Amino acid sequence: MALLSEPLFILDYDNFMKRKLIRFSFTLSLGIFFGILISLPFTQVIFSKQNNPYSVIERKFKDMNQILYLVNQLYYQDVDMEDLMDGAFDGIMEKLDPPSVFISAKDQKNIDEMFQGEFQGIGIEFDILNKYITVIAPVVGGPSERAGILPGDWIIEIDGESAYNISRDDVFKKLRGKKGTKVDLKIGRSGTENFDIVIIRDDIPLYSVRASTMLNDEVGYTWLTRFSNKSGQEVRKSVEGLLNQGMKKLILDLRSNSGGILDQAAEVANIFITDRDTLVYTKGKNKNSEQVFMASPRKGNDNFSLIVLINRGSASASEIVAGAVQDLDRGLVLGETSFGKGSVQRQARLSDGSAIRLTIAQYFTPSGRQIQRPYDIENYEDYYRELYEEDRESKIDSLKKLRPPFKTKNGRVVYGGGGITPDHYIPWKLKIEESSRKLVSHPDRIMFNWSNIIASKSKLKSSQSFKKFKSSWSLDDIEFQNFISYVSKKDSKLNINEIKKDKEYFKTMIKSEVAGIIWSRDELWSIRTDLDNQVMQALDYFNNDKEFKLSLYKK
């Protein structure tokens, strides 16, 4: 999950790591220290200054060796020194910024699998925050997302056992498992009471583009859910396919896309830019960490109008793309203000297979905006809690006077210092009953199973095209009643009267499931977006082409 491909320099600790910890002594400590000094420029070593970093290293290595020696000799029971040292490394990185972390060898193996292959489990991107497993994002198309897990949820219990202070290694042991097995979780969510949920483990899909479909005769829709090694290639293929279907306008959906690889963000942005403009640049303490990504005109295409959708979960690489489109006036950015993660990490492998991921620079949009949202290193909880504030957008709007203004290519004013603020704010709205929510995320996939019955009975694929199905087919009232009877038999605890109140919602959901079963996930989302108020309102901005184009120029 490295954001830059160049390796970070790694000090040679091989001789040190091969020795047994029981033989730690002051002599060894000094030997290590001077070994480090040999690899550094002599002019940087100034022993006379107490605050010189290398003097601090000398003193603290002595303290560390004393601590390890005393623990090993005097602690009342045996200690796993590898775990102890990993904990020390964790502590070092915690004193930096949130994205800078130590990754144990076991965790690194899991991360490599996450970005390069397929595996089975519940499908979440997570971090350990406040000693709980905190969901950064459910893997799109995975079992956790189907069960209704949201970014920011935290796992309180796993199969009836407390998950407080759980190790990363135990997270993988307890949440991964064979396809078809289940895990019982107790979930905490800001603003609601803790609730239980059952997740059935499954294959975790690892594609970047979740859906690519035409919403009508002119508007295409591409949903990019993550930035991995082939994201640019996937998005380009999606756009070309939609253009072949007659697309004249595109909605690029980056909502809840938590980011990924930096150069792939530049690749995706370049798809829409036809001038040799700056797409993104980075600045850091070390000149080697500074980069400028320029657009290649031959890779770009501006033969269609563009809207980018973002929300509070859009971060990092997503913000690079949205920022480039906005700053270069290539299209409109709609939705909610993004997360505000504007730092670049470089991952360095260590000799035992572990790694550190270190923030080496911050990135800036073409106009010079810094995207990183300010944080208090002593209180990460507030950093994440802010995302859930209902009046977050009004606070952001009121803070514009305090945020630095910048100008886009055509002279529009945009603001830096805390995520990408959309050109037009569109809040997410979906009001369904509690029992309806439980039915949608039911571990037995009741709605999907019923839709499968409908699909197999109707033989729709052989009788008509998807286009005709979308425009003319609907679940009639008799079949809806049969669905209600089916639901009540499968789970008598669900409140049927509540579900009936959401009749039209479920008719559309079932229609989308049927389309997905008969055709593919692209057709599923072509229908399900009818329930998505942000997508539907984005279509309204396309309807008046003159107004759309005027909004991209200085007002």
Give me the mean pLDDT over the 435-458 stretch.
84
Each residue of 91-119: pLDDT tens digit? 898 888 878 888 888 777 766 655 554 57
CA 56: distance to chain centroid? 37
Highest-scoring range by mean pLDDT, 54-63, 144-153, 230-239, 367-376: 230-239
Considering 54-58, 458-462, 468-472, the range whose residues carry the highest mean pLDDT is: 468-472
Residue 121 has pLDDT above 60, yes or no: yes
Could you tell me the pLDDT band of residue 13, with boundaries at 50, 70 and 90?
very low
Tell me the average pLDDT across 451-468.
Answer: 76
pLDDT exceeds cutoff 50 at 15? no
- In three-state secondary structure terms, 473 is coil
Is-contact 445 513, C-beta < 8 A?
no
pLDDT 10s digits, 39-59: 334 344 444 455 688 888 888
What pLDDT sits at residue 469?
92
Whether residue 488 is predicted with pLDDT greater than 90 in this model: the reply is yes
Higher pLDDT, residue 269 or 21: 269
Confidence at residue 204, expressed as pLDDT on a 0 to 100 scale? 81
The share of the chain scoring above pLDDT 70, in percent, equals: 84
DSSP helix/strand/coil, 432: coil
Residue 43, pLDDT score: 40
pLDDT confidence band for 399 (50 / 70 / 90) = low
What is the pLDDT, as a whole number, of residue 21? 34
- Chain centroid to CA 53: 35
CB distance 229 to 115 below 8 Å: yes
Residue 5, pLDDT score: 29
Mean pLDDT, rounded, for 297-302: 96
Chain segment 253-269, per-residue pLDDT in tens: 999 998 988 899 999 99
Average pLDDT, the chain: 83
pLDDT at 192: 80
Residue 163 scores a pLDDT above 80 = yes
383 SS3 class: helix
Q: Is 418 exposed, middle or buried (0-12, 13-18, 19+ CB in 10 A)?
A: buried
3-state secondary structure 136-176: EEECCCCHHHHCCCCCCCEEEEECCEECCCCCHHHHHHHHC
Minimum mean pLDDT range among 195-209, 392-406, 527-541:
392-406
- Tokens linked to 144: 């956790």
Which residue, chain included where needed, has tokens 């309807």? 543
Q: Which residues contact 231 (CB under 8 A, 6 or more apart)?
A: 208, 209, 224, 260, 261, 264, 267, 268
Tell me if residue 45 falls in helix, strand or coil.
coil
Q: What's the confidence (pLDDT) of residue 460?
A: 65
Single out the residue of 216, 206, 19, 230 nearest to residue 114, CA to CA: 206
pLDDT, residue 33, reads 33
Phi, psi of 70 (to 5 degrees): -65, -40
Pairing label, strands 101-103, 424-425? unpaired
Residue 129: C-alpha distances to residues 135, 138, 515 (Å): 9, 16, 39
Same fold, 118-204 and 209-343+361-373+384-425: no
Integer Cα distance of 212 and 223 in angstroms: 7
Residue 344 pLDDT: 86
Predicted confidence (pLDDT) per residue in 215-226, tens digit: 999 999 999 998
- Asked if the model's pLDDT at residue 430 lies above 70, the reply is yes
Ranges of beta strands (E only) in 400-527 are 405-407, 413-415, 424-425
Which pLDDT belongs to residue 24? 32
pLDDT value of residue 19: 36
Structure tokens at 51: 């605050």
Q: Which pLDDT value is given to residue 40?
A: 37
Confidence (pTM): 0.74
Using 50, 70 and 90 to split pLDDT, how confident is the model at 526?
very high
Task: Report pLDDT for 449.
Answer: 83
How confident is the model at residue 31, as a pLDDT? 36
Taking alpha carbons only, the member of 530, 488, 537 closest to residue 510 is 530
pLDDT score at 9: 28
Q: What is the structure's pLDDT at 20? A: 33
Q: Which band of pLDDT confidence, cut at 50, 70 and 90, is reported for residue 4?
A: very low
Where would I find the H helices in 75-148? 81-94, 105-116, 143-146
Listed ranges 230-244, 331-345, 531-545; the one with the highest mean pLDDT: 230-244
As assigned by CATH, the class of the 118-204 domain is mainly beta
Q: List the chain domain ranges.
A: 1-79, 118-204, 209-343+361-373+384-425, 434-519
Superfamily covering domain 209-343+361-373+384-425 = 2-enoyl-CoA Hydratase; Chain A, domain 1 (3.90.226.10)
Candidate from 63-72, 111-120, 155-164, 261-270 with smallest mean pLDDT: 111-120
As a whole number, mean pLDDT of residues 439-447 equals: 84
Give the residue-averaged pLDDT of 113-134: 75
Which residue numbers are catalytic?
Answer: 316, 327, 341
How many percent of the chain have pLDDT more than 90? 49
Q: What is the pLDDT averaged over residues 508-535?
A: 92
